[in-house]
């Protein structure tokens, strides 16, 4: 990868999606093991140890790095699965592990000091003091920043910390503070932060009621859709809720982040890498989004005007936002 060019870090929820990301031009892919150690622990997703070996064999000859997300928080008194995940990543010599839990960071730093460590967005580290702590205590080399910072705040942060920063570039926007989700835990008893399941499929129900399709999470009605209206999934927390006598998107309307038009500004702010969200998405989604961002990143690196591709068909609600980067939410 050219020095100074933004690194494109892409989702791989399955081996097929990984191959699509690599073939479309990913500089790195991130994936999880098929258990509760990663924050996308869903049936049909993620990698067995043998599939992880295959992923490395496919990606590396094609110049693509492999990061393993071990980014949930170990259950009290039962750290074994998380320790084994770190040990496996070190054994296979993956390019980096993405961690959030302090105890797990300590374990990785002590047991596998040569294993490159990135700080997950699940840690919600968004100020110089927190990031310097993780660097000094656990030797993290990169931090994935929460989606709440403006461009000026990111620039100031990069000037004050000794690590690389990675920011989200495209995909779904969580309505909760990263690493602190409460809605899914309250509604289902399963936490995204420990079990790795946000709106777990086993608790999602679609109930026809006449001409209306009602969507429920656990015992709670999240939304209702009329004839011909597409029903949202998996981000059910963005549903409409009734309060004060009216129904509406009380937390956040469905929309996807897209920073393709901000690449020069992000590079100028000192950002090292762009993360595309979407390990729950299929390989067609991955191929199209990665290819579009590959073209945009390369154009920005050449100093050319970036003409973002139309990805509205892959965006929640068919709409895109620049999020907090341009202070649109302040």
Tokens representing residue 311 in the block? 């990805």
Non-local (6+) Cβ contacts of 129 within 8 A are none
Which parts of the chain fold into alpha helices (H)? 15-24, 49-59, 80-92, 102-111, 128-138, 151-158, 183-188, 263-268, 283-301
Q: Are 203 and 215 in contact (CB under 8 A)?
A: no
**What is the pLDDT, as a whole number, of residue 20?**
98
Q: Are 137 and 220 in contact (CB under 8 A)?
A: no
Domain boundaries, the chain: 7-173+255-321, 183-248
Cα 318 to the center of its chain, rounded Å = 19
38 exposure class (CB count in 10 Å sphere: 0-12, 13-18, 19+): buried
CATH number for 7-173+255-321 (one of 3.20.20.70, 3.40.640.10, 3.40.190.10, 3.30.70.1230): it is 3.20.20.70
**What is the pLDDT, as a whole number, of residue 252?**
66
List per-residue pLDDT tens for the chain, 330 residues long. 555 689 999 999 999 999 999 999 999 999 999 999 998 888 889 999 999 999 999 999 999 999 999 999 998 899 999 999 999 999 999 999 999 999 999 999 999 999 999 999 999 999 999 999 999 999 999 999 998 899 999 999 999 999 999 999 998 777 666 666 777 777 887 777 777 677 777 888 889 999 999 988 888 888 888 888 766 655 677 777 777 888 777 666 667 788 999 999 999 999 999 999 999 889 999 999 999 999 999 999 999 988 877 887 776 666 777 788 886 554
Q: Are 261 and 306 in contact (CB under 8 A)?
A: yes
Cα–Cα dist 275/291, whole Å: 14
**What is the pLDDT, as a whole number, of residue 187?**
80
Q: Are 14 and 284 in contact (CB under 8 A)?
A: no
Residue linked to tokens 């990665």: 290
> What is the dihedral angle through the alpha carbons of 179, 11, 270, 263, rounded to the nearest 10 degrees?
-120
Phi–psi pair at 222, nearest 5 degrees: -100, -35
> What is the dihedral angle through the alpha carbons of 42, 312, 295, 178, rounded to the nearest 10 degrees?
-40
Kindly provide the b/e burial profile for residues 45-56, where b requires at least 16 CB atoms within 10 angstroms of the residue's own CB: bbbeeebbeebb
Q: Are 170 and 163 in contact (CB under 8 A)?
A: no
**What is the pLDDT, as a whole number, of residue 223?**
85
**What is the pLDDT, as a whole number, of residue 177?**
64
Helix (H, G, I), strand (E, B) or coil at 71: coil
């Amino acid at each position: 990868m050219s020095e100074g060019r933004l690194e494109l870090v892409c989702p791989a929820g399955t081996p097929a999606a990984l191959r699509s990301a690599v073939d479309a031009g990913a500089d790195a892919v991130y994936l999880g093991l098929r258990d509760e150690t990663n924050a996308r622990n869903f049936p049909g997703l993620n990698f067995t140890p043998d599939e992880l070996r295959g992923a490395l064999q496919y990606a590396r000859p094609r110049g693509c790095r492999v990061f393993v997300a071990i980014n949930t928080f170990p259950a009290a008194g039962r750290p074994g699965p998380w320790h084994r995940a770190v040990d496996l990543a070190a054994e296979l010599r993956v390019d980096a592990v993405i961690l959030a839990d302090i105890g797990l960071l300590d374990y990785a730093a002590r047991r596998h000091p040569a294993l490159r460590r990135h700080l997950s967005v699940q840690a919600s580290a968004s100020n110089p003091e927190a990031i310097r702590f993780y660097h000094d205590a656990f030797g993290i080399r990169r931090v994935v920043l929460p989606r709440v910072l403006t461009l000026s705040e990111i620039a100031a942060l990069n000037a004050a910390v000794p690590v690389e920063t990675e920011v989200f570039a495209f995909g779904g926007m969580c309505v909760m503070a990263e690493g602190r989700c409460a809605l899914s835990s309250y509604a289902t008893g399963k936490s995204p932060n420990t079990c790795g399941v946000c709106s777990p499929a086993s608790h999602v129900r679609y109930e026809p009621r006449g001409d209306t399709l009602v969507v429920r999470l656990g015992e709670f009605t999240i939304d209702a859709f009329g004839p011909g209206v597409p029903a949202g999934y998996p981000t059910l927390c963005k549903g409409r809720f009734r309060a004060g006598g009216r129904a509406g998107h009380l937390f956040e309307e469905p929309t996807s982040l897209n920073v393709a038009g901000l690449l020069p500004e992000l590079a100028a702010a000192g950002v090292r890498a762009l993360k595309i969200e979407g390990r729950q998405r299929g390989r067609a989604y991955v191929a199209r989004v990665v290819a579009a961002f590959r073209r945009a990143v390369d154009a920005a690196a050449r100093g050319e005007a970036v003409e973002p591709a139309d990805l509205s068909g892959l965006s929640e609600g068919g709409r895109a936002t620049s999020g907090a980067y341009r202070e649109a939410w302040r």
